[in-house]
Chains A and B, each alone.
Chain A
Amino acid sequence: MSNQYVEMGLMAPVNVTWEVTYACNLSCIHCVSDSGRKKPGELTTEQCLQVIDTMSAMKVFQFNIGGGEPFMREDFPDLMDYSHEKGIVTCISTNGTLIDDEVAGRLAHKLVYMQVSLDGATPASNDAIRGKGSFRKALNALEFLSKRDIEVSVNTVLTKLSFPELDALVDLAASFGAKLRISRFRPSGRGKKNWSQLNVSREQMLSFSDWLSRHMVVSTGDSFFSVSHEDRRSLGLNMCGASKLTCCVSPLGEVYPCAFLQEREFLAGKLPEESFAEIWENSPIFHSFRDLEIKSCESCVRFDFCHGGCPAIAYHTQRRLGLPDPECLANCVSVKSLAAVGA
């Protein structure tokens, strides 16, 4: 991935993570967005359509849809239809519980990617995180989706529980014609409270890094570049895309540099009251991320490969920006800074 042009500043994000509601019918113990109940002030249908118009006018290519559980919104299929009409690709993350044959049929569109979340290859491990019965329901959803012409992947957060089952997860996903995508566990929302219980150990992170090298078909999507070996270099981005390639819109319309940096101090603006183009071009918060340099990493042999890693993990573990990602290959995962999250 060429970074030179990204560093020059793009005129719009390539993709926008859009969390469409805080409402959720599950109560996962790692939930980064602390989801459960719909909050007052969530964007109305009309306002959501305005957001789609804005993004389409700026030629945003893709929405990464999350929440909460997107399917808790009654208008969700209509919002997706409208996004597709505008040519925007939608990558929808779901717990799968509300997907039946009819919903799967309604979703089938060439611009849709579905990501069904599974946090273990067995009911025991998955349901310990996502709640009783959630494994079976996610598998049902995969079954319905696999019968349709929809690109599907299984998304798993790397935790102590999913780590021993990675091979089984690859096979399980493949049995539905899906690929496995692994996300990095973030210490925010309920993830912060359960961080020490769930986050992988230093040894597991190192062993995961080797495992990734042996499984080039597994995608990581985000921010594992700090622990990826050189052989995965061609597979994706090797720098933080926050405010450069991507940003996040919360269910309330708040705009942040990234879904994992939804803190008051990173609030860049609010839709639909403020102009998204103006926020993207001129927000001081966004500029500070574009200019962010992880000085202490610059002399590292792996700097060109990871550029200091994920600022969100660094921020949540050390409460300051500009510090190195504590989980990186060069530092072999600093036990001290990870323990500092406390919670």
Chain B
Amino acid sequence: MRSESVCLLNEGVQVRSERFGLLFYDYRGPRLYFLPTKDLIKDHFFNGKHTVSNLIEYICAKHREWPCLMVKKWLNHALDMLEGKGLIYEQSVC
């Protein structure tokens, strides 16, 4: 996932924030997917208004105790997994 990209939901996929993190619903199954991110990623991240790097900055600012490189790796891994499961896709903004 490139930093200057936004992440959008694939057709038929919905997401909502839950206490444990994000709950995805894919109506083509229908099936559910649970992503335990607590409040690090909010459901509105997938409406395409914020880039991956915006999110990294936000998390790093909120958790100064965490090395930014680690946050970046973790986030990329989580987003790649969602993309691999067909839930989201990446769109470049530049």
Chain A residues with CB under 8 Å of B67's CB are none
Name the one of B11, B12, B18 contacting A5, with C-beta atoms under 8 angstroms.
Answer: B18
Residue on A with the closest CB to B35?
A: A5
Instruction: Given A62-B25, A62-B27, A89-B27, check contact A5 B36 (CB 8 Å).
Output: yes
Interface size class of B (residues with CB under 8 A): 10 to 19
Of residues 285 to 326 in A, which have CB atoms within 8 Å of B's CB atoms? none
The smallest beta-carbon distance between B12 and chain A, in angstroms, is: 7
CA distance A111 to B12 in the complex (A): 8
Question: Binary interface profile of A, 59-78, with partner B (CB < 8 Å = 1, else 0)?
Answer: 10110000000000000000
Docked-complex contact A61 and B14, CB < 8 angstroms: yes
Residue on A with the closest CB to B14?
A: A61
Instruction: Given A59-B14, A61-B14, check contact A5 B20 (CB 8 Å).
Output: yes
The smallest beta-carbon distance between B30 and chain A, in angstroms, is: 7
CA distance A329 to B15 in the complex (A): 36
Question: Binary interface profile of B, 3-23, with partner A (CB < 8 Å = 1, else 0)?
Answer: 000000001101011111001
CA distance A61 to B34 in the complex (A): 14
Within 8 Å of chain B (Cβ to Cβ): is A1? yes
Instruction: Given A10-B18, A11-B18, A12-B16, check contact A5 B34 (CB 8 Å).
Output: yes
CA distance A2 to B19 in the complex (A): 15
Docked-complex contact B12 and A9, CB < 8 angstroms: no
Docked-complex contact A111 and B19, CB < 8 angstroms: no
CA distance A89 to B23 in the complex (A): 16
Within 8 Å of chain B (Cβ to Cβ): is A110? yes
Within 8 Å of chain A (Cβ to Cβ): is B32? yes
Instruction: Given A1-B32, A89-B30, check contact A110 B12 (CB 8 Å).
Output: yes
- Interface-centre pick from B11, B36, B43 (highest chain A CB count, 10 A): B36
A interface with B by C-beta (< 8 Å) = 1-2, 5, 8-12, 14, 59, 61-62, 87, 89, 110-111
B interface with A by C-beta (< 8 Å) = 11-12, 14, 16-20, 23, 25, 27, 30, 32, 34, 36, 43
Known: A11-B19, A59-B43. 6 other contacts (CB 8 A): A5-B20, A5-B23, A59-B14, A62-B27, A89-B30, A110-B12
